[in-house]
Amino acid sequence: MSKILITWVGKPYEGEFNGKEFQSLKITYLPKNATRRAEERGYNPVLRKLRSFDLLEKITVVPGVYDMETEMYVNSKNQEEHEIVDLELIKPIDFVSIFED
């Protein structure tokens, strides 16, 4: 498992594409490690689609630090992708207090 900071959870969406029903949920998180690119500094936010609403009930606090478990699969273009399969809250983060005098 790896630690991430979930900063945003989008509106769950259900729809149909090519005759197949699907669920989609977008989250934004900051990874544990900063960027390695020489010309950049800081943490690149990652926008990720979750394939199932089942993980939504595990995201109980935003922002919060979570343990993220992923599994690898091969997509339709024979490319390796990683899907988030489990999340566990480690601790909530209080951004508001950072900005208080």
User: What burial letters (b/e) apply to 73-92, b meaning 16+ CB within 10 Å?
Assistant: eeeeeeeeeeebeebeeeee
Over its length of 101 residues, how does the chain's per-residue pLDDT go in tens digits? 789 999 999 988 888 888 888 888 899 999 888 889 999 999 999 999 887 788 999 999 999 999 999 999 998 899 998 889 999 999 999 988 888 87
CATH number, domain at 53? 2.40.50
Task: Provide the domain limits for residue 68.
Answer: 2-99
How many domains does the chain divide into?
Answer: 1
Instruction: State if pTM tops 0.75.
Output: yes
Whether residue 92 has a cis bond before it, omega within 30° of 0? no
